[in-house]
Amino acid sequence: SQQGEEDPQALSIQEGENATMNCSYKTSINNLQWYRQNSGRGLVHLILIRSNEREKHSGRLRVTLDTSKKSSSLLITASRAADTASYFCATERGGGSEKLVFGKGTKLTVNP
């Protein structure tokens, strides 16, 4: 069953703008990860945030986690055409499970 649900399903912006994608989940988690997938390619890990963290940065990426609301957001600042891809959140549940459960993703298009 799907754990993470991304919102919006699709997002189109202009180069230089910021892009924000949201992820909601249902059960308690150990950590939440964001992945990127270019068309026709495999997924690439972007960032991991643990359940006891609230915010994390990596380059132009900023991830927040609100465990009380069971939600996370991924912000890409100063977007570039090369950021065009699908972005997925993935949750790893508590209780020793190693399984990552992915949402259906947000398809981001950055127009030059």
Partner 1 sequence: DAGVIQSPRHEVTEMGQEVTLRCKPISGHNSLFWYRQTMMRGLELLIYFNNNVPIDDSGMPEDRFSAKMPNASFSTLKIQPSEPRDSAVYFCASSLLTTGSGELFFGEGSRLTVL
Q: Is 49 in the site for partner 1 (CB under 8 A)?
A: no
Single residue of 9, 10, 17, 44 touching partner 1 by CB under 8 A: 44
- The tokens for 61 are 């990426």
> Does the footprint of partner 1 cover residue 32 (CB under 8 A)?
no
- 10 is written with which tokens? 């699709």
- Residue 40 C-beta: closest distance to partner 1, Å: 8
Q: Does 15 bind partner 1 (CB under 8 A)?
A: no
Q: Is the dihedral of CA 43, 63, 101, 106 positive or negative?
A: negative
Q: How far is the CB of 88 from partner 1 (least distance, A)?
A: 7
Residue type, 93: R
Candidate list 45, 54, 57, 80; residue touching partner 1; CB under 8 A: 45
d(CA 95, CA 112): 45
